[in-house]
Chain A
Amino acid sequence: MSILNKILTAFRGGAREVGESIVDANGTRIFEQEIHDSKTHLQKAKHDLTDVMAKQMQSTREVNRLKASVSEHEDYATQALDKGDESLALEIAEKIATLDADLAQQESALTTYSGHVERLKELVRKTERQIKDYERQLSMVKTTESVQKATAAITDNFAGSNSRLVGAKESLERIKKKQQDFDDRLKAAEQLQDETVDKSLEDKMQAAGIGETKDTAASILERLKKK
């Protein structure tokens, strides 16, 4: 069963009570132990792998050396035959036979090492994936637990402080009202700003004698004199 299914089953099966543990602490510990064991296995597999890879390299070098040696001695044997030294040629041929036997042995060892390397690499890959998977599952369980505990803490806090969780609609109305208040204040401020700008412009125009000029005592007297 997948871990999500386990969590869901725990929810449906009465663990709905806030704060109640989804997977008991023991279960989590076993899980953690499994991850720890897998990591130990992985470490060992990697160690084995480096060992075998070293042997594989040595073996490859040895195979190459023997191959070179065989062809070298074949060359010597041919030279001995050319010189008509049959008995030396035979001696060299015996040496080649020994080298051939060694080569065959080394080649078979190399095949075995290469096989080991392949298997160990596969094991390392699988173990790494397994650990990742365990960790992901453990994280799901722990997150679920953490969220439940957090909810319990929050609920207790509300109960303790005598404040209640306000309903969604009421919260929304309060927030909207606050935003409206803010908007209104902003608008009022803008209006005030506009009015101030208008006013100062008017003042300037007045001073320059442009637009609607107010009657001054002097201008009134002037007008009266003209009548």
Chain B
Amino acid sequence: MNTQDIAIRFSELNSYQGFSFDCQLIPGDTDVLQVVVSDYEEIPVYISITETQILCISYLLSEDEIVQEKRGEMMELMLEINIPMPLSSFSKIGDKYVIFGALMAKSNFEDVVHEVITLAENSVEAISALTDYLK
């Protein structure tokens, strides 16, 4: 499955477990698919595919949104909630904190949809948990 395949499948999918999806291919050196889950429009999920895995990433916050004195404490909290948070993990790309889920390259479309929904839900949970550390 490549990003185009996933884009087509998403556009054919009217709704899944009460969610609807809106997706858009972002051109660049690597194809990236932006998937917007209904009710979670503010936090899109970005899908990119490598030889070994399908990566689904949501951008949570930038470094400059964090109260600097509480930064260490926030990181510790992120580590602590990493395991309880189903299927997703925290990471950092450049100055952006993200959550992501990695699927095997040969996962089926249902797995991807499930991952995208979980990621959108987890993003909201994660930001809620971190608001005390934000400006």
Binding site for B on A (CB under 8 A): 16, 18-19, 139, 142-143, 146-154, 156-157, 165-172, 174-176, 178-179, 182
Contacts and interface: CB of A to CB of B under 8 A. Distances in A.
Contacts of A142: 50-52
Contacts of A152: 28-29
Contacts of B127: 168-169, 171-172
A178 B39 contact: yes
Contact of A168 (B26, B46, B57, B60): B60
A142 B53 CA distance: 11
A175 B43 contact: yes
Nearest to A181: B39
A36 to B, nearest CB: 15
B116 interface: no
Interface residues of B, number: 35
A149 B31 CA distance: 9
19 contacts: A18-B93, A139-B50, A139-B51, A142-B51, A149-B28, A149-B30, A150-B48, A151-B96, A152-B29, A166-B42, A168-B60, A168-B61, A168-B65, A168-B130, A169-B127, A175-B40, A175-B43, A178-B39, A179-B39
A154 B98 CA distance: 13
Interface in B26-59: 26-30, 32, 34, 39-43, 46, 48, 50-53, 55, 57, 59
Given A166-B42, A168-B127, 20 more contacts: A18-B93, A19-B29, A143-B53, A143-B55, A146-B50, A147-B55, A149-B28, A149-B29, A150-B30, A151-B93, A152-B28, A153-B26, A153-B30, A154-B32, A157-B26, A157-B28, A168-B130, A171-B127, A174-B42, A175-B42
B94 interface: yes
Contacts of A148: 93
Contacts, number: 93
A149 B48 CA distance: 10
A16 B57 CA distance: 19
Contacts of B130: 168
A148 B96 CA distance: 12
Nearest to B66: A168
A157 B48 CA distance: 15
Contacts of A146: 30, 48, 50, 55
Interface in B78-135: 93-94, 96, 124, 127-128, 130-131, 134-135
B62 interface: yes
B5 to A, nearest CB: 17
Nearest to A168: B61
Interface centre among A150, A154, A174, A175 (most CB of B within 10 A): A150
Contacts of B26: 153-154, 157
A179 B128 CA distance: 14
Contacts of B57: 147, 150
A149 B40 CA distance: 25
